[in-house]
């Protein structure tokens, strides 16, 4: 994983203009009656299903990494991380992480120097929502934490509680938080397997994160996870 890395924007493939009417728009957007909104979709490289690092090795090497090199993540790395967190693994729509009742209330975003990307599990692609580098604003919303500012990619996990509460009522709130933990651990272990490091961050201003990333009102930020090449080996 060492050597020269190109910006994600220069590496992501298959840029097409697409209508939100295909049902793959961010949660809360098509439901809000924006079916005709034109967005830019990007196909991701296919994920790998059999890597060289064992689960046991990844578990033993996992630690919080807050300092990173200046190298960008590649499109293959971004793809693999997104798939590990929310990738579809079953014909009926099951994903890499469990979800109570198959409600899948989480939405996953990646913030990089190239912009803000929303992961669309079905079809394994991303939706480009902004070409601005939002990491400074996101860091400010995260109480000034430098890991958020300096990481080449910050993964943002949001919960749409109504999806699970619609079936489980108040108990569904707990299920959404549990699911966010599953996804966060998968991201961190996949990072280790790729030779990267990351840190889960829960200290941030919810409204600030929502404002910086222009999230829909029903998107509740649950986790920020900066990931990048470690600045030093330990």
Under the banding of pLDDT at 50, 70 and 90, the label for residue 61 is confident
According to the model, what pLDDT value does residue 180 have? 96
Q: 56 or 69: whose pLDDT is higher?
A: 69
Element (H, E) at 85: helix 75-86
- Give the pLDDT of residue 171: 95
Is CATH 3.10.129.10 what the domain over 8-228 is classified as, yes or no? Answer: no
∠ CA 118-68-152 to the nearest 5 degrees? 25
Kindly write down the DSSP assignment for every residue of 125-169, as one continuous string: EEEEEE-S--HHHHHHHTTT-HHHHHSSEEEEEEE-HHHHHHHHT
Average pLDDT over residues 151-155: 97
**By C-alpha distance, which of 70, 120, 121 is closest to 94?**
121
Q: How confident is the model at residue 67 (pLDDT cuts 50, 70, 90)?
A: confident
Instruction: Give the Cα separation of 116 and 223 in Å (integer).
Output: 16
Predicted pLDDT of residue 88: 94
pLDDT classification of 25: cutoffs 50, 70, 90: very low
| Domain residue ranges in the chain | 8-228
The model's confidence at residue 64, banded by pLDDT at 50, 70 and 90, is confident
Least confident of 14-18, 51-55, 208-212, 216-220: 14-18
**Is the pTM here over 0.75, yes or no?**
yes
Residue 14 has pLDDT above 90, yes or no: no
pLDDT digits (tens, 9 = 90+) for 76-123: 999 999 999 999 999 998 998 999 999 999 999 999 999 999 999 999
Residues in a beta bridge with 28: none
More confident residue, 55 or 227: 227
Query: What are the pLDDT digits (tens) for 221-231?
Result: 999 999 999 99
Q: What value does the mean pLDDT take over residues 14-42?
A: 42
| CA-to-CA dists, residue 141 to 54, 64, 154, 215, 227, angstroms | 36, 20, 13, 14, 18
Length of the chain: 234
């Amino acid at each position: 994983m060492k050597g020269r890395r190109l910006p994600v924007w220069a590496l992501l493939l298959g840029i097409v203009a697409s209508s939100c009417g295909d049902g793959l728009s961010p949660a809360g957007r098509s439901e809000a009656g924006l079916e005709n909104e034109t967005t830019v979709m990007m196909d991701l490289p296919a994920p790998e299903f059999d890597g060289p690092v064992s689960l046991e090795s990844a578990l033993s090497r996992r630690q919080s990494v807050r300092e990173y090199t200046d190298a960008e993540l590649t499109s293959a790395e971004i793809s693999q991380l997104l798939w590990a967190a929310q990738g579809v693994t079953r014909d009926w729509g099951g994903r890499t992480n469990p979800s109570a009742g198959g409600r899948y209330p989480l939405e996953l975003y990646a913030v990089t120097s190239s912009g803000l990307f929303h992961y669309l599990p079905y079809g394994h692609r991303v939706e480009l929502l902004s070409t601005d580098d939002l990491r400074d604003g996101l860091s400010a919303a995260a109480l000034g934490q430098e890991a958020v500012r300096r990481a080449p990619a910050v993964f943002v996990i949001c919960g749409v509680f109504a999806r699970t509460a619609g079936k489980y009522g108040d108990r569904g709130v707990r299920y959404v938080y549990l699911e966010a933990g599953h996804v966060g651990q998968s991201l961190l272990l996949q990072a280790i397997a790729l030779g990267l490091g990351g840190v889960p961050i829960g200290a941030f201003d919810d409204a600030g994160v929502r404002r910086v990333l222009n999230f829909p009102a029903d998107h509740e930020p649950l986790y920020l996870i900066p990931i990048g090449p470690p600045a030093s080996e330990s």
